Amino acid sequence: MNDLDSHLDGIIAGDPHAFSLWVAGVEPRLRGRLRSFAAHVDTEAVMQETLLRIWQTAGRFEPDGKPDGLLRLAMRIARHLALDEVRKKRPDRVTAAMLEENAIDNREDGSLEIDEHIRACLAKLPPKPLAAINARIHGGWRRDDDLADRVGMTLNTFFQNVSRARAALAECLRGLGVNLGGAR
């Protein structure tokens, strides 16, 4: 049994803490699975819908004995949700990559060493971009106008500062040999 499967009993029992540990472990791979849909589907909405459905149905989940059973189920749900959207709106744009059942994007590096680099790069940001991206980091699921208010910025200025912060952070990380993408 691997680390992610070790949270299964807690999730099936309805323990949000166990679910949070599982979500933290699966999110990058689940998001990566949706890359081929990015031009046609809001993958953030699909991610959240998929995770909610996993939580709602986990009590009926029956492991098949293979590793990462719940992650594989999540990937199937995410793929079906995204494919349904594409088929509804642009059926002519369904690609082989979308149909691939086992496509996994392993580019994501979740190492603690990279966490350290991210924190170091954040500390180098100028005050306003730092304030804006910190607001997004700590409350990114809240309304942007509320976040902007909290840091004393107009919404447009808030967006500009978050974008600048992320671009500077990506550049700083590249200087440390870490490429997590983002605008140049």
The one-letter amino acid at 47: M
What's phi and psi for 138, nearest 5 deg?
-90, -15
Is 143 a binding residue for other proteins by CB under 8 A? The answer is yes
The region of 1-9, 64-72, 96-104, 139-147 touching other proteins under the rule CB under 8 A is: 139-147
The 3-state secondary structure of 57-122, one letter per residue: HHHHCCCCCCCCHHHHHHHHHHHHHHHHHHHHHCHHHCCHHHHCCCCCCCCCCCCHHHHHHHHHHH
Give the x-and-dash track for 33-72 against other proteins (CB under 8 A): -xx--xxxxxxxx-xxx-xx--x-----------------
- Of the candidates 12, 83, 94, 114, which one interacts with other proteins according to CB under 8 A? 114
Q: How far is the CB of 69 from other proteins (least distance, A)?
A: 19
Interface residue with other proteins among 59, 126, 152, 181 (CB under 8 A) is 181
Cβ atoms 118, 125 nearer than 8 A: no
Between the alpha carbon of residue 52 and those of residues 31, 66, 136, 156, the distances in Å are: 14, 23, 22, 31
* Sites of contact with other proteins (CB under 8 A): 16, 19-21, 23-24, 27-28, 31-32, 34-35, 38-45, 47-49, 51-52, 55, 108, 110, 114-115, 118-119, 122, 133, 136-144, 156, 159-160, 162-163, 166, 169-170, 180-183
